[in-house]
Structure formats: C-alpha cells, structure tokens
Chain A
Amino acid sequence: MKNTNKIFIALIAAVLAIPFAALSQDSTKKELVLSVNYYMNSNKAIYVIANAKTKVAKKFTPVSGINISLFLDNDSSLIGKLTTDKDGLAKAIIPPSLKAAWDLSPKHSFKAVSEASKEFDATDAEASITKSRISVDTLADADARTVIAKVESFDGANWVPVKDVEMKLGVSRSAGAVLSAGDEATYTTDSTGTATAEFKKANLPGDEKGNIVLTAKVEENEALGNLIAEKIVPWGTAVKSDNSFFDQRTLWSTRFRTPFWLLFMAYSIVLGVWGTIIYLVIQIIKIKRIGTKGGTVLS
C-alpha cells in the first residue's frame, strides 16, 4: 500500500511539473534579431535580404535554418518564403507577379516574418524605402579626372534629386569593397543630388586594357536602402598576366612539365628497383624449371 501511495504521489508531481517544465523551456529560448534590407544594383536588379542573428557570448552570430516569409507593403503580397543560409541570410527577388503593386506607389515597405522554432520565438522586421535611382559618370580634362554620382528619387510623377545622401565613391575592389576615388572615405550629395570626387588613385592595376570599375555605393540609407551603380573606365594600368612560367618545368607545374632531373631520378629508381623485382621473379621461374627437371637433392 505504501508503494502505491509513493507511485501516486510521484505521478501527481510529474503531472504538476509539466507546465513548469514547459515554461522553463520557453524561458531558455534565445532572442532572434531579424532585419530586412532593400537592394538595387545598377538600377536593374532589385532584391530584398533578410538577416537573422542572435547574441552568443555577447557577439552576434548568424542563425541558419530560420524559415522566413517576406512581404511587400502588406501581408497579402508575399514576395517569397525562404530559409536563412549559414550566414543567416535569405535573399529574394521581387517576383513579376508583384509588378503592378510595385508600380503603384513611389514608396514601399518590406516585412520579414520568421517562424517560431525550438530555439527562437516568431519575430518580424520592417523596412520602408522610396523608389530611387543612382548613376555614376566621369569628367576628364587635361588637369584632373572627376567621378560624379547622382541620386534621384521618384515622387510619383518625376525623378527629383536627393540631397545629403552619404555614399562610397571610388574603384570596385574584390569582395564588394570600394577604394575611395579621392581622400575622403565617403561623399555626400548636394542639393542637385550630386556627389563629386576628384580621382586621385593613379596607376591602379586594371585589366589587360587598363580598365577599372568605378562604383557609387549607398549603404543602408534609411529612406533609399542599398543602391549601387558602376561604370567601366580606362583609368587603370594595363596588367598582362605573366603566364610564362607555365612553360617551365617546375615542382609545381602540371604533370607534363615535370623537371628533367626529377624524371631522371624517379624513373631510374623505379626502373632499378622494379628491374630487380622482375629479375627475382625470373629467378623463381628458374627455380620452378629446375624443380620440374630434377637435380641433386640436398638433405
């Protein structure tokens, strides 16, 4: 009877513990920091990127595998359902089905909604932008070369210049970096929507024809989002890649360009040793022949 009581009390305790266990599980969920950003590349490619991260040991760490729904303006205009990658990013291009909604207004908002998971609660993030465009051009005379970028936004009827837009203006480098054209790290548009930088980077290595890519890049602007424009100009130094060593016989060349000394050494050793092995196999065959012929048997 005592045992039955103990089992009963244990069961009651277990049942009562369930809600607490559930609560404690909830309280261990980490906070997901979600953001959404608008991108326009060369006034053509338009896309939205949602970014999911969380704080681990006081540092933001990307969160992969989060299911996110992206909306344009309202919850009925779905841009796409995505899952964040290893960098915590989910990228979507605005689909043709939303063209009418896109053309309808000069201002738009984007909303990212994440699904709840074992580790994180559901959360959302929003961003609003005004339709805009960016261009980059050059002015060159005998004394100086100048890079000019212009930013305009759409007011519903006309494109109007946007002032006080901060941007990077310079030469495109690897991994999306921009080497500033002049001495300033960034440039700001004036009342005509124009930012101007004197090009001071002489002798930059370009391609075989000396071409370099000039870039105007607006990053995370609250009203405009992320804009980028590029222009190829022959302002660099022509760099012809030196492939002459491809014909040399080196330890790091292809197998058809093995150094002669190595070929000689390797094949001499291989032939020497394998010659010996073949000789020994012949000796075994010889022993076999003698055995089949017969001879003086040693005791």
Chain B
Amino acid sequence: MENLNRLSSEQITKDLLPQKFGRRGLIWTGILAAICLVGLFAYYRQLKYGLVVTHMRDYASWGIYISNFVFFVAISLVGSLITAIFRLTNVHWATPLTRIAEIIAVSAIVFASLIIIVDMGRPERFLNLLIHGRIQSPIMWDVIVISTYFCISLLLLYMPLLPDLKILLQFKEKSGKWLNKLYRFQGSFWKGTAEQFKISERGITILCVTIIPVAFSIHTVTSWLFATTYRPGWDSTNFGAYFISGAFLVGAGGVVVAMYVFRKYYHLEKYITELHFDRMGKLVVMLSLLYLYFNINEFMTPVFKMKKSEASHLTDLFTGDFAFMFWAAIIGGLIIPIIVLLFKKGRRPLPMFIIGVMVVIGAWFKRYLIVTPTLLNPFLPMQEVPASYHVYFPSWEEWAIAMGSLAGCLLVITFFARIYPIIPIQETITEQNEKH
C-alpha cells in the first residue's frame, strides 16, 4: 500500500465506500441471476421427478454435485489462509484482501451446504441426519464441521466489519434508506470506544486461532468421506494433506481473480497494487508446488505398483477416457501457473488474472476427476448392468444446478461488494496512520 502515502482518511473513505452498480454491474448481476433461475428450474424438475433426471446411477452415484461440493469446500479455505494465517503472522500487505477472502469463504461454504442437500434428492431427509445421525460416520463429522466453519467465518467477516459500519452510517444520503436500516441493525452500537476496540481485537485474534484448525478439519474430513471408503483412487493415507494443499491453491487462485475484478471495476489501483499481485503470485507458486508434490505422492506410488485392481482407474486417468481432462487440469491448473508466475512479468495483474482463472477452472475439473473416475472403476467388475451405467456424463439438469450454484456463489459476493466495503476502510486508515 505504498501508494497510500499521500491519501487522507477522507479520500480513503470516499474511494472504498460501496458503489452502486453501473451498466456492466447490472448486466453481470442479470446474467448470474438468469443462470440461478435456470438452476432453480432444473432443481424443481429434480424435486418433481426425482434423481432420475440426473445421470447418476448405481455406480456413478456421486457426480457433478459432489465434485461441486468438494470445490466449494476447497475454495472456502482461503478465508483461513488470507485472514487468519496472515493476520496471526503479522503479514500486513494482505489487509486489503482479507474481506475478499472472507466473503469468498462464507458464500462458498453456504453453497457447499446447499449442493449437498441437492445431492440428497429428498431435501427433507436432511433432518434424518440430525435425528438418526451416527457420530461414527465421517458424513456426520462433515455436517458438524461445515456448520461450525460457517459460523466462525461469518463472525470473522462480521467483527472486522463493525468499524466500517460506523463509517457507512455517516453517509446516509449515499447509501439510501434500506441499506441504512441494514447498517443500523448490524452496527449502530459501534461507537469506536477503546474498550470496544480492545474486545473486538481480542475476539478477532481468538477467531483467527480457532478458524485454522477448523478449516483444516473441514477439508480433511471432506477428504475422509472418500478415503474411508475402500475404492481405487480413494484408498489413500495422503488424502487429507492432498485436499488441503489443493484447497489453499484454489482459494488463492479465487482471491487473485476477485482482486483483479474488484480492482478494475471499482478502480482500486491505489489499494490493490501490483505489489499485491506480485506477492499473491509468489504465494500461488508456492501453493502450486506444494499441491504438485502431493499429486506426485498420490499417483506415483500406485502407478509404480500398478495393482490389478487399481490399474483400470489409473489407465482411465492417464491415457483413457479422462486423460484429456486430467492432463489439462494438471498442466493448465498447476504446471503452467508455476512456470508463468516464476517470472516477474507473469505476476503482473492481467497475467495473474488469467492464471487465477486457469487455477480455479483446473481445480474444479480436478474435483470432478477425484469423484467420478473412481466410481466408474469399482474393485468388482460391473456385470449385468445396462450399458449406460458404465459411463457418466451429467444431464442438463445437473449442469444447470451446478452452474446455478456457482452463479449463486458469485451473486452473493457481488451483492456483498455492493452493500459493504470490499476493502476494510477502518483498517486501511489505521494502518496508514500507524505508518506515518
């Protein structure tokens, strides 16, 4: 934030106040809302006709919904990385990115919960998990840890927002009647007293300490949903670390994309500088290398042994039906980002944005590759089943619901950016005052 040297508190406040949607903003919101509506219609059809409208059958009983769920859980981990880990280690350059990371975390975890209910087919049966759930089941652990993570993320979003709500309430004319009501409801009690700051700071520190193990748990438990079942490709002790490293990478990729978009759309060049992109670029390289290491661990040893029971799954991934997707995800989502971001020019905003998009898309397909090929290569051969059971390609309803959930997640982030400052105003002012 070296560029902030000459900026007054008033200027920072003016720059960072939420802005009304322009034409591009309205078009963007309209497109997302339309995708969500198509997804809702597809879900209505699924509720009406049952899960038969999907292409999930006896073997591929987990499809694009579960891939999407794992993706959402993965991207939500970024909240703990950018906000908690950086805050606790006094990494101040990441301050403008904390709220972006937290809102990505909250919206992703909301849609992770929703998509798992979509996958259940009969949503009312979710209650059975609470009524008849067994604490021995990793599915129960996942339910507990997701709801916990959601609450902590929400608190971590809310507590640092309190001082900003006070600032927002000073601009009643700009905000409008309804937003003012919302701000008053959420933060009219924040006066900025020393005692309030003290309690708030301590609360945020406690949250940061708490969210790290919970974030690790959420994705480790999600990985255990797979690893505790005996199937080719999932029967791995590496899965917890493999999932977490991948989650940090996709989360960082998501933040890079959001940084670029918000910076460009809201003209935040003075706050999200090239330095931020440079440092995030280095972080993405480190996380990519880490994830690559766990990928090599995950595939190297089974390939070396090539056990008969695992061979068909591995062949499917490396040279078979899923080979194109697999190599595209590895090369496009891992290798190319490492190579490009090693160079300083590659860590400039536009290349970083493109790489961020590649990382996120690669990560989405990687989740699909974790879920589906395994189910289509069971230990016992598929016999006497209809030919359609041997393959899985999502139906249009599945695509619509999955894309609708992704659009919904983006819509939540978009509305948040419309209502609240996407860069913490008070923290930015305080940090500048501390510097000078």
Contacts and interface: CB of A to CB of B under 8 A. Distances in A.
B203 A290 contact: no
Interface in A104-144: none
A245 interface: no
Interface in B248-281: none
Interface residues of B, number: 33
A294 interface: yes
Interface in B154-207: 155, 158-159, 162, 188-197, 199-200, 202-203, 206-207
Given A295-B196, A296-B193, A266 B148 contact: no
B199 A295 contact: no
A179 to B, nearest CB: 23
A253 B386 CA distance: 34
B191 A274 contact: no
A88 to B, nearest CB: 11
Contacts of A286: 199
Interface residues of A, number: 33
A4 to B, nearest CB: 43
Interface in A9-27: none
B135 A291 contact: no
Nearest to B385: A86
B25 interface: no
A164 to B, nearest CB: 35
B151 A277 contact: yes
B70 to A, nearest CB: 22
A263 interface: yes
A101 interface: no
A259 B137 CA distance: 12
Nearest to B151: A277
B210 interface: yes
A255 B199 contact: no
Contacts of B199: 283, 286-287, 290
A297 B193 contact: yes
B148 A274 contact: yes
Nearest to A256: B134
B134 A255 contact: yes
A283 B207 CA distance: 12
Interface in A160-203: none
- Grouping DSSP codes into helix (H, G, I), strand (E, B) and loop, the A interface class, with mixed when no group exceeds half, is helix
A290 B136 contact: no
A262 interface: yes
A273 interface: yes
A254 interface: yes
Contacts of B144: 266, 270
Given A266-B135, A290-B196, A295 B203 contact: no
- Grouping DSSP codes into helix (H, G, I), strand (E, B) and loop, the B interface class, with mixed when no group exceeds half, is helix
B214 interface: yes
A273 B207 CA distance: 10
A297 B202 CA distance: 18
A287 B136 contact: no
A284 B159 CA distance: 8
Contacts of B193: 290-291, 294-298
A279 B155 CA distance: 12
A164 B34 CA distance: 76
Interface in B87-142: 132-136, 141
Contacts of A258: 134-136
Nearest to A267: B135
A1 interface: no
A255 B136 contact: yes
A50 B226 CA distance: 44
Interface string A272-284: 0110110111011
A240 interface: no
B328 interface: no
A297 B206 CA distance: 24
Contacts of A97: none
Interface of B: 132-136, 141, 144, 148, 151-152, 155, 158-159, 162, 188-197, 199-200, 202-203, 206-207, 210, 214, 386
Given A291-B189, A294-B193, A297-B193, 17 more contacts: A86-B386, A253-B136, A255-B132, A255-B135, A258-B134, A262-B135, A266-B135, A266-B144, A276-B210, A277-B151, A280-B206, A283-B200, A287-B189, A287-B196, A290-B189, A290-B191, A290-B199
9 closest pairs, A vs B, by CB? A291-B189, A295-B193, A255-B134, A288-B189, A283-B203, A251-B136, A291-B191, A287-B196, A297-B192
